Amino acid sequence: MVAPSPVLLAVGETMAMLAPSDGGGVVDAATFLVDAGGAESNVAAHAAALGMTARWASRLGRDALGDRVLRQVSARGVDTTGVVRDARHPTGLYIKDPGRGVRYYRAGSAASHLAPTDADSLALDDVDVLHVSGITAALSASARAFLDAAITRARAVGVAVSFDVNHRAALWPAAEAGAVLAALAARADVVFVGRDEAETLWATPTDGDVRALLPAVAELVVKDGDVGATVFESERRTFVPALRVEVLDAVGAGDAFAGGYLAARARGLDASARLAAGHERAALTLRTYGDSIHDTAALPTPHLDRTSA
């Protein structure tokens, strides 16, 4: 009998993403790419590509953009049956305009209306790890309450909690976000945080300082860009350098890293192998444009392939 694959449930906002197909500006573009972009659904898609059973739950508008997002996330091997369609609030949208940045249209979105009642509806019976991020906490008071309730439910039934700090300065300032995100991180079993964002949020310039702030987290992963990443487990500290790649677009690399790390963790691999798998998955994304993973999802992650025999 083949053992069932470990189950990851990722919960959080995914929006429709609009970008010029030719990489030029919005004003002059003749054609556009419409894709799905969201940290948690990206992590789920990477985990699915690496053999985990991956699910994504959230709220989407009962509209055409919601239909498209649902279809695209499903096409990446992610179970979307836990997504609620909201007839009263729209699917969020963001537009990538090269040279001008990114513009978000997410105020009042369906995902911003996530609430504790949605946490009560999460199917956790066979879930091994719940993956969430700090983005949800920034969307609205009700979404923050939802995140708190989801973590509480997972911990109550013995489901491991994975938390990516994912501070978004455009959503809330560090002065407001810092204490909230630290409290959420302290309740997780696995935490992902960038060294630079930790310094911004908590005045912790080194990975050791971050560990001192969050001493009880079972697996604290501090990523330091192109330098590498460190995982702290109890008294152990393991560092693996980043891969050297030509970076075309850094957006989405953190989600890829988390997906690779969690897939390796599900296989019971050691700290070095988990970090290596995260780096390898991130490297695939760094070599593509945009935070969609449609070009990288089906590609192998060499370290996992080497250790799967």
Catalytic position from the list 35, 118, 207, 255: 255
Rg (CA), the chain: 18
28 is catalytic: no
Whether 160 and 190 have beta carbons less than 8 Å apart is answered as yes
Separation of alpha carbons 188 and 173, rounded Å: 22
Q: How far apart are CA 275 and CA 264, in angstroms?
A: 8
- Supply the DSSP string of 27-88, one letter for each residue: TT-S-EEEEEE-HHHHHHHHHHHTT-EEEEE-EEESSHHHHHHHHHHHHTT-B-TTPEEESS
- Pair type for strands 160-164 and 59-61: unpaired
Instruction: Report, as residue numbers or ranges, the catalytic residues.
Output: 255
